[in-house]
Structure 1
Amino acid sequence: MKLNEGIGIRSALLNTKARVLADLYLYAREDDLLIDTGDASAARIRDIFDRFIITEDVQVKDITSDFVHLAMQGPQATENAKELFGTAFVDMKPLQHKMIGPTMIVVRDRTGQSGYDIIIPNDEAEAVWQGFLLKGVTPVGQDALEILRLEAGYPRYGVDVDENIIILEAGYKDAISFSKGCYLGQEVVARATHIGRVNKNLVQFQTQSDQVPRPKSKLLASGKEAGYVTSAAFSPGLKAVVGLAYAQRDFAQEGTKLAVESAHGPLPAVVTKLV
């Protein structure tokens, strides 16, 4: 797939068994392709890419240390970005991006509330940060972002997805091409899609409790194991625990009632959506 300048796309790096090595976002710029490796190591991804460069005239460089990566989320994000950068973003579609000098602004929703990723050269980051503070933008920590992403049902690489997970189990359908030519893991993806199916699926669940289950806590159906939790948090907005879990395929359906193992005994839970 050819990307035009200013366009982005979600992708994934797989091994031959279609297990997920990285959750990637690719952005076409004027002279290069910027790859956001997220929670996967950029240096490791670079090394993997280098192994597949044979005769192509291309270089892969890890620029992590040269930039600061900010995320601005929420219903006022578009207006705040316009005021700070002096340009409109309202008509841009998800993963489209603009260059404001050396700074790159990407339409990227990380919380279900819309927002932007802002990739800034190190020497300009402090000025941008102070500009946001002067506009009244409120800094939040990782705990708040974690609650919002769980409410939205967005998986996080290294937490909900790793090298042991087949991409179709994780629900990364927007990162998969079902028509593209040969790529690592394609045979497994095609076989599971057209002939078979995966044994488990990532789901969002809620439990009306303030007891947060730990990762790897079992999902139970009629007392029998039906899956396991990957991440969870108490949501003040929902007044409930919300989390993500892998449920065996017979239980990976919206509305399915399960229980979650906890130190205080089984917690009643319901599957709220398939991720």
Structure 2
Amino acid sequence: MRKTPLYEFHALQGATFDTSSGWLIPKDYGNTLEEYAAVRDGIGVFDLSHHGKLRLTGKEHLKFLQGMLTNDVLKLEPGKGVYACLLTAKGKMVTDMKVYRNSDSVLVELEAGLNEKIKELLLRFRLSFKASIEDLTESVALISIQGPKSKKLLELILSEQIPELKEYEFIKRNLDGTEVLIARVNRTGETGFDIFTPSDTAPRVWNLLLDTKKPDLKPRPVGKQALEMLRIEAGIPVYGIDMDENTIPIEAGLWHALSFDKGCYIGQEVIARIRWRGHVNRHLVGFEIEAQNIPKRGDRVIIDEREVGYITSATFSPFLQKPVAIGYIRREFREAGTRTLIKLDSGELIPASVTSLPFFSRNQT
């Protein structure tokens, strides 16, 4: 079982641990609801160092990626990023990713456990393109800060005002003697920033973020359990949970991952055909549960005694004070307000209603 560079710090801070794709990661730090509240009211700090990270370099690395991904990377200027998918020829998802363009390289962030698979796939398709692919998962740590006061915390530790960044735009700064990449990323429905730093400097960055003496900031570490609550409320699907190799991006509502004027990429014909001449048969939606039960992944959605969908993620929502879920439903039942039943693994049927996503959204500034 692998450990992130911050494992010892999590243990000292009272974390209990869970596993994710062969990594030990913090499940919680003793009180999931307090961790949730820290993000909604102030600042939460997350260790996401187990996420996959690849770096592409070489004379043709952008041209190579342009023919592989669903979004337009060639038009990116240095300091900008984009959300994209890698598809099969049939338009099904191999993975999603965040892509950040530097002046001479591209940084790709993936869900945990996908780095080796995606590196091998990219190498297989590289052919004659002059591009190199390096796995940075072990050597680069990823710390995310999320919450309405996260920008104030960044400006405090950097001792400067930072520019207003749009989603996936990033800056590079010197932090305690180390160059870090800071990207604007919403993981919770709140303002958020991802900080990429060399693994050996991650403890210093972690301590800088948490040791602020400003009483109005009070950042606290947040574990996987609270992050699940937050990201489900924000309606953010995760590959490997809410999306897999059978998912077409349009089914999951990933329109922001798709460019329709960039030209060819793997799976492009299928996506274009769906957009212009067809439709998908299922859609990712929210479900407000009208019972105290929290469904499990795979529980079935029932209408008129017929199975019409299934749950992919569920949690208790502190914001709505009720259980909520996200999952897929047949397109003819996707309208908000549609009444459904959810069949639990016990066989019990509980009432729920379809709702649009997200459950929670704060105006981003």
TM-score interval, smaller chain: over 0.9
Match of 2:267 among 174, 185, 195: 185
Rounded Cα–Cα distance in structure 2 between residues aligned with 1:269 and 1:77: 35
Deviation larger for 196-205 or 37-46: 37-46
Match status 1:215 vs 2:297 = yes
> What letter corresponds to residue 58 of structure 1 in structure 2?
A
State the 1:237 CA deviation: 2.5
Does residue 1:115 correspond to 2:192, yes or no?
A: yes
CA distance in 2, matches of 1:274, 1:256: 14
Output aligned runs, 1:131-170, within 5 Å: 131-135=208-212, 136-170=218-252
Q: Is the 8 A contact 2:251 2:280 kept in 1?
A: yes
SS in 2 for 1:52: helix
What percent of counterpart residues are identical?
A: 35
| Structure 2 unaligned regions, length at least 5 | 1-73, 213-217, 359-365
Q: CA deviation at 1:24?
A: 0.8
CA distance, structure 1, for counterparts of residue 353 and residue 151 of structure 2 = 34
The runs of at least 4 aligned residues of structure 1 exceeding 4 Å deviation read: none
Structure 1 residues 264 and 114: alpha-carbon distance in aligned structure 2, compared to 1, 3 A threshold: farther
Q: CA deviation at 1:97?
A: 0.4
- Contact 1:96 1:106 (C-alpha < 8 Å) held by counterparts: yes
**Which of 27, 48, 54 is the matching residue for 2:100?**
27
Hey, what does 1:43 align to over in structure 2?
Answer: 116
Q: How far apart in 2 are the matches of 1:236 and 1:9?
A: 31
Alignment TM-score, normalising by the size of structure 1: 0.96
Which moves more between the two structures, 140-149 or 127-136? Answer: 127-136
Amino acid at match of 1:212: I
**Per-residue deviation, 1:51:** 1.5
Please provide the CA RMSD for this pair.
1.4
Deviations 1:184-234 (A, max 9, x none): 111111111111111101111111332111111110112211100001011
Rounded to whole Å, the distance in 2 between the matches of 1:86 and 1:48 is: 42
In 2, Cα distance between equivalents of 1:89 and 1:24 = 25
Q: Which moved more, 1:260-269 or 1:46-55?
A: 260-269
Aligned position for 1:226: 308
Alpha-carbon deviation of 1:144?
Answer: 0.5
Residue range with higher mean Cα deviation, 157-166 or 200-209:
200-209
> Contact 2:234 / 2:357 at 8 angstroms: preserved in 1?
no
- Runs of 5+ in structure 1 lacking a partner? none
Counterpart of 1:256 in structure 2 is 338
| 1:95-114 correspondence to structure 2 within 5 Å | 95-101=168-174, 102-114=179-191
Q: TM-score, normalised by structure 2?
A: 0.73
Asked if structure 1 preserves the Cα contact closer than 8 Å seen for 2:297 and 2:313, the reply is yes
Offset, 1:40: 5.2
